[in-house]
């Protein structure tokens, strides 16, 4: 049975709804709760609810024992109670867990430095990504999957990779902090400078990053990365992007388009769920209050700050749907549906190929069985057919797995390194939009 200690800043659950925006809000675990309870608990202050002896009203029914009910104004406070979250035996200490209590999202994680389970609001104070999508870092802290901020068991932020004081030269996936400086901001958008180029936001949906780098061996390399993000309906947008450049353009001619899409999806989809949740959190607190909820101390966030300022100042914090929608976000679909990429032609072709290979494999095994019975084919021939059938079957299974993972649903468990992500996450720390 685990025994939990009470951190010094133990607060009632309802008081945690407001507070220091630079820390994740802490839902504390139990201290003086009877030790027979099996797992981490959401904090509750000692119950203020009690039965009063003043002005008793007798309630009697043939089915219930007679009790006295106070006629006073007291009301039960659901947010000043303890709630068990999960049995400890069902929790894995190696990763954070998302749970919900009273409609609130919390993250439960094992703090090995304090030997205790911790329960925080499931919302990173940086840009509101769910901390439960993160990981336990090598020092035993809770690390956000989005930009890598790390928190100790008291909710103190111990590492900001984008900060010049903390920042690694490269993170584990090759990302580096980027130094943006916001320049002119007006109704048409804004400009920003960065070390090796500049950036332009053209309202409402075009963002371009221009870079100009001198390479001693390859001369002057120029490139522009342009994102066009089209508002489709509340909660949905369409991303179109282009990468014009004056080098390595042969890649576009040689590599099939679907392969480039698969690589892009690895980057975009790994952030998709985080952004989906962030959008809902910002909606909940109100677009105009985002700066009170988010803590953005680094220059890497300058583009986000610029966009939010533009959005609130010139668009009143919302897209003008001209009454086509209520403005409410649609309910969150299951993750498999959210990440479904089944629309591409390559998906259909590869899927068809996997099915054909499976049918061929079954056919070949059938032929071998029939030939064995009738003695129609030599033993060596039957062996060759059986091997061919097995290979077809193995390839069809591998193809089906590939299609499922890269076209339908990639789970993105951020608590373990994904090797496929290493080459595509170069911009995570600095420019994740």
Task: Provide the binding-site residues for ligand FES, judged by CB under 6 A.
Answer: 124, 126-127, 129, 144, 146-149
3 state DSSP class of 68: strand
Nearest approach, Cβ of residue 433 and ligand FES (Å): 12
Spatial separation of the C-alpha atoms in residues 77 and 50, rounded to whole Å: 11
Kindly tell me which of 41 and 128 has the beta carbon lying closer to ligand FES.
128
Kindly tell me which of 132 and 265 has the beta carbon lying closer to ligand FES.
132
Kindly tell me which of 124 and 403 has the beta carbon lying closer to ligand FES.
124
Kindly tell me which of 97 and 147 has the beta carbon lying closer to ligand FES.
147
Asked whether the beta carbons of 393 and 361 are under 8 A apart, the reply is: yes
Kindly tell me which of 147 and 410 has the beta carbon lying closer to ligand FES.
147
Nearest approach, Cβ of residue 396 and ligand FES (Å): 40
**Which token pair is 67?**
């009790």
Asked whether the beta carbons of 279 and 157 are under 8 A apart, the reply is: no
Nearest approach, Cβ of residue 167 and ligand FES (Å): 13
CA 216 to chain centre: 39
DSSP state of 14: G
Instruction: Give which of 365, 432, 355 is closest to 400, Cα–Cα.
Output: 355
Kindly tell me which of 110 and 146 has the beta carbon lying closer to ligand FES.
146
Instruction: Give which of 345, 433, 397, 423 is closest to 174, Cα–Cα.
Output: 423
Nearest approach, Cβ of residue 300 and ligand FES (Å): 10
**Which token pair is 400?**
């089906």
Nearest approach, Cβ of residue 128 and ligand FES (Å): 6
Kindly tell me which of 298 and 368 has the beta carbon lying closer to ligand FES.
298
What is the residue whose two structure tokens read 């990468």? 243
Kindly tell me which of 124 and 424 has the beta carbon lying closer to ligand FES.
124
Strand pairing partners for 26?
120
Kindly tell me which of 363 and 433 has the beta carbon lying closer to ligand FES.
433
What is the residue whose two structure tokens read 């988010």? 294
DSSP state of 330: P
Instruction: Give which of 395, 389, 403 is closest to 360, Cα–Cα.
Output: 389
Spatial separation of the C-alpha atoms in residues 222 and 200, rounded to whole Å: 16
Torsions phi, psi for 406 (to 5 deg): -100, -15
What is the residue whose two structure tokens read 């790994």? 270
Nearest approach, Cβ of residue 307 and ligand FES (Å): 15
Nearest approach, Cβ of residue 127 and ligand FES (Å): 4
Nearest approach, Cβ of residue 146 and ligand FES (Å): 4
Nearest approach, Cβ of residue 235 and ligand FES (Å): 19
Written as one string, the DSSP assignment of 186-254 is ETTEEEEEETTEEEEEETTTEEEEEEEEEETTTEEEEEEEEEEEEEEETTEEEEEEE--BSS-THHHHH
**Which token pair is 256?**
């099939």
């Amino acid at each position: 049975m685990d025994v939990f200690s009470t951190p010094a800043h133990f607060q009632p659950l309802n008081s945690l709804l407001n507070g220091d925006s630079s820390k994740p809000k802490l839902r504390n675990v139990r201290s003086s709760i009877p030790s027979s309870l099996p797992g981490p608990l959401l904090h509750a202050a000692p119950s203020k609810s009690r039965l009063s002896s003043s002005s008793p009203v007798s309630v009697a029914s043939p089915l219930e024992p007679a009790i006295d009910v106070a006629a006073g104004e007291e009301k039960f406070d659901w947010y000043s109670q303890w709630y068990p979250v999960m049995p400890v035996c069902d929790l894995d200490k190696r990763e954070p867990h998302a749970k919900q209590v009273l409609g609130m999202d919390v993250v439960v994680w094992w703090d090995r430095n304090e030997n205790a389970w911790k329960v925080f609001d499931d919302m990173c104070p940086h840009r509101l990504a769910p901390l439960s999508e993160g990981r336990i870092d090598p020092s035993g802290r809770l690390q956000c999957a989005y930009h890598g901020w790390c928190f100790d068991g008291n909710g103190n932020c111990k590492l900001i990779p984008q900060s010049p004081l903390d920042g690694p030269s490269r993170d584990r996936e090759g990302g580096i902090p980027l130094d943006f400086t916001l320049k002119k901001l007006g109704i048409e958008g804004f400009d920003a400078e960065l070390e090796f180029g500049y950036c332009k936001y053209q309202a409402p949906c075009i963002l371009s990053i221009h870079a100009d780098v001198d390479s001693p061996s390859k001369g002057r390399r120029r490139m522009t990365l342009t994102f066009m993000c089209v508002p489709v309906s509340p909660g949905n947008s369409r991303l179109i992007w282009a990468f014009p450049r004056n080098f390595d353009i042969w890649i576009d001619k040689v590599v099939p388009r679907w392969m480039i899409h698969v690589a892009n999806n690895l980057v975009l989809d790994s952030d998709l769920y985080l952004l989906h949740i962030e959008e809902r959190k910002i909606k909940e607190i109100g677009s105009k209050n985002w700066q009170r909820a988010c803590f953005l101390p680094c220059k890497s966030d300058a583009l986000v700050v610029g966009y939010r300022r533009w959005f609130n100042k010139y668009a009143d914090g919302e897209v003008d749907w001209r009454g086509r929608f209520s403005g409410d976000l649609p309910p969150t679909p299951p993750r498999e549906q959210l990440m479904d990429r089944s629309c591409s032609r390559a998906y259909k072709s590869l899927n068809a190929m996997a099915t054909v290979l499976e049918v061929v494999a079954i056919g070949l095994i059938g032929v071998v069985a029939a030939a064995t019975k009738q003695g129609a084919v030599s033993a060596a021939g039957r062996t060759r057919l059986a091997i061919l059938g097995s290979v077809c079957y193995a390839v069809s299974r591998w193809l089906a797995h590939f299609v499922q993972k890269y076209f339908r649903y990639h789970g993105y468990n951020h608590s373990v390194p994904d090797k496929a992500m290493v080459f595509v996450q170069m911009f995570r720390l600095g420019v994740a939009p």
